[in-house]
Amino acid sequence: MPLWPGGRTLPAVDLDALADLKLSGPDGAMHRLGDSWRDRPVVLVFLRHFG
């Protein structure tokens, strides 16, 4: 099992549930998140606005 620095284990992620999420894209249309990695690997970054 992969570890975080300090020996802590990574939390489990349900990729099937994550893939079914729908998010609005820059065009305003809803897109299924899993469609992004159907054909190729992706890097998923979450940004949070503080302020």
Q: How confident is the model at residue 3 (pLDDT cuts 50, 70, 90)?
A: low
Specify the pLDDT at position 29. Answer: 95
pTM attached to this predicted model: 0.57
- Domain spans of the chain? 1-51
Per-residue pLDDT tens digits for 4-29 = 777 777 778 888 888 999 989 889 99
Specify the pLDDT at position 14. Answer: 86
Rounded distance between C-alpha atoms, residue 6 and residue 20, angstroms: 32
pLDDT at 44 over 70: yes
Per-residue pLDDT tens digits for 29-41 = 999 999 988 899 9
- Give the HSE-up count for residue 4: Cα atoms under 13 Å, Cβ half-sphere: 6
Give the chain as a 3 state SS string.
CCECCCCCECCCCCHHHHHCCEEECCCCCEEEHHHHHCCCCCCCCCCCCCC
Structure tokens given for 4: 């975080």
